[in-house]
Chains A and B, each alone.
Chain A
């Protein structure tokens, strides 16, 4: 990909908090990946275990 320094634009600093320097405004999407199957025995077991622990106020 070619991108010359002249193409750089100042970003809207409000979005990023604080900005020094003209970061290139060149968005690139990062689609969310699927990592969990909708529901499995394993995920249910973990969910049940986590819920049990939290109910007993041992966690968090």
Chain B
């Protein structure tokens, strides 16, 4: 039995501690704001703003608690029971599922070739089949998929263990695609590794996941923590750094909170096919999208359904060798976020679904809050502007016949400063502590050393603060669109070079710039002194097109000869499967072979433990 199965009291203790702290800090912030607002008497606007500060601070504190739990929880790997010596390391057969949807075929299938080579180096190809599950709607891309697939089979000698299937109709999108495979071929496999088109995993990691599934018969789904790789733009590299540097710590905090009810992020995860088939047949929700129809963010729901059926769902943060790619610019990020926003808000329909574990409901609520919480900040800013208009004229002589000197309103600016420091602390402290922890433990070496790690952390903090108002506007628009019934559909993910010119950036963000300009002009007209306070929000909005175009450009090399800003371990010591993928792709696409990075003579399996 895995130790995680015996740690329910610890899980509940962690959950209670985090929740009590977050609620406590939320109320403390709300109370502090009320004290500040009471200087000239409490108005309705003060109560409203206090409520918004309470909710926002609760949400910030909850995130900070996850980071703190990640820092202070046990960092040792999961202890996996040893299998008997006479039993082969892997017994069951696994289908590796690669859903594709209008993707460029060569990079996708080169990843399959690299993963197959990685498994072959371990002598495990007979235990794994690959299924390319195409939902591509574009016939030209589909024809290219078939051509590249035939080349893949020929080069890997993979006839009989690699399959390509394109659905005539893509009912149910990705979830329907996986479901179709399981309904036709699922009984042939004990496990299925669900990937995305941009997923890449080491053979050793895949084998280790099978081993963990076999060692724990109650484990229904095992999620790895994919690291973002191959980012080239300023925005992409900041995201890549963030995913490599902070995410493992935050995910460890999440793992402490999850108990048996872990997350499923839709890819780079292994499922027990019988459990998945038995528990995860998704219904079509009554009504039209965005709230009805097919379930969009299916992964969260599938995790909840597995847990409902009594299966363990777990994220093992110690599994290395799991990779994905991320958006290269803010526009692509916002497009993906729009889809996630709709999927998460759709979960409001499922909050009261019968039989779900309380934590699963809470996870749905968290997903909804992730998109609603930024609106609290926007509401706070708007209410603060409105409060000036609605503020009563100060009454310096409340008792005119009994006082000689005027009574001035209390100046409680100190309380506002305390509040601001507290909120900035919640925003910055977890990330700064992660940087300090990385320098202390030597983890920062993978990020170019302690100094480069700190430099990258501070730059990421500055960058994420500057783009925060732009993101806030995109999120606000997404939520508004969903609430007004607009369906995002299922746009293709843009992969590869995402460089944007100023014209394209302007076309996608002029509404933000104009809103920022109008907001600043309005506040200047209302009360010029407030403009300075609003500049940190207004300026990034005003210059959103420039910001978006600039951050989409490729970032330059290190200027001083030291490590490059936002260096990540995958750049210093790329995993063999990444090198193999690049080499195969370079050969396939005709790039000069000498330029292509070559994998080592015998790719090493990924370090299973961090």
Given A11-B184, A18-B142, A28-B187, A60:B288 Cβ within 8 A:
yes
Minimum C-beta distance from A58 to chain B (A): 5
Number of A-B contacts (CB under 8 A): 157
List residues of B (461-510) whose CB comes within 8 Å of A's CBs. 483-487
Interface centre among B92, B282, B353, B484 (most CB of A within 10 A): B484
* Cβ of B279 under 8 Å from chain A: yes
Q: How many residues of B contact A (CB 8 A)?
A: 62
**A-side contacts of B289, CB under 8 Å:** 60
Q: How far is the CA of A25 from the CA of B131 in the complex (A)?
A: 13
Contact of A16 among B167, B273, B286, B354 (CB under 8 A): B167
Given A19-B163, A36-B286, A50-B291, A30:B182 Cβ within 8 A:
yes
Chain A, residues 10-43, CB within 8 Å of chain B (1/0): the string is: 0100011111111111111111111111001011
The interface residues of chain A, by DSSP majority, are classed as loop
Q: How far is the CA of A29 from the CA of B184 in the complex (A)?
A: 9
Given A5-B160, A16-B166, A47-B287, A23:B149 Cβ within 8 A:
no
Q: In the bound complex, do residue B184 and residue A16 qualify as a contact, i.e. CB atoms below 8 Å apart?
A: yes
List residues of B (55-73) whose CB comes within 8 Å of A's CBs. none
* Cβ of B292 under 8 Å from chain A: yes
* Cβ of B332 under 8 Å from chain A: no
Given A26-B185, A35-B283, A35-B285, A21:B349 Cβ within 8 A:
no
List residues of B (152-199) whose CB comes within 8 Å of A's CBs. 153, 159-169, 179-180, 182-190
**A-side contacts of B270, CB under 8 Å:** none
Given A50-B291, A59-B485, A59-B486, A30:B183 Cβ within 8 A:
yes
Q: How far is the CA of A15 from the CA of B353 in the complex (A)?
A: 33
* Cβ of B53 under 8 Å from chain A: no
Of all chain A residues, which has the CB nearest B185?
A24
Known contacts A1-B189, A20-B164, A27-B184; 18 additional CB pairs below 8 A are A3-B187, A11-B184, A16-B180, A18-B146, A21-B164, A22-B163, A23-B165, A24-B129, A26-B185, A27-B186, A30-B179, A30-B182, A30-B183, A35-B282, A35-B283, A40-B352, A42-B351, A58-B484
Query: What are 16 sample pairs from A and B whose C-beta atoms fall under 8 A apart?
Result: A1-B92, A17-B165, A18-B142, A19-B166, A23-B163, A24-B189, A25-B184, A28-B277, A29-B183, A29-B281, A31-B278, A32-B281, A33-B281, A42-B351, A53-B485, A58-B484
Interface, chain B (partner A; CB < 8 A): 92-93, 129, 131, 134, 142, 146, 149-150, 153, 159-169, 179-180, 182-190, 273-274, 277-283, 285-289, 291-292, 301, 305, 348-354, 483-487
Interface, chain A (partner B; CB < 8 A): 1, 3, 5, 7-8, 11, 15-37, 40, 42-43, 46-47, 50, 53-54, 58-60
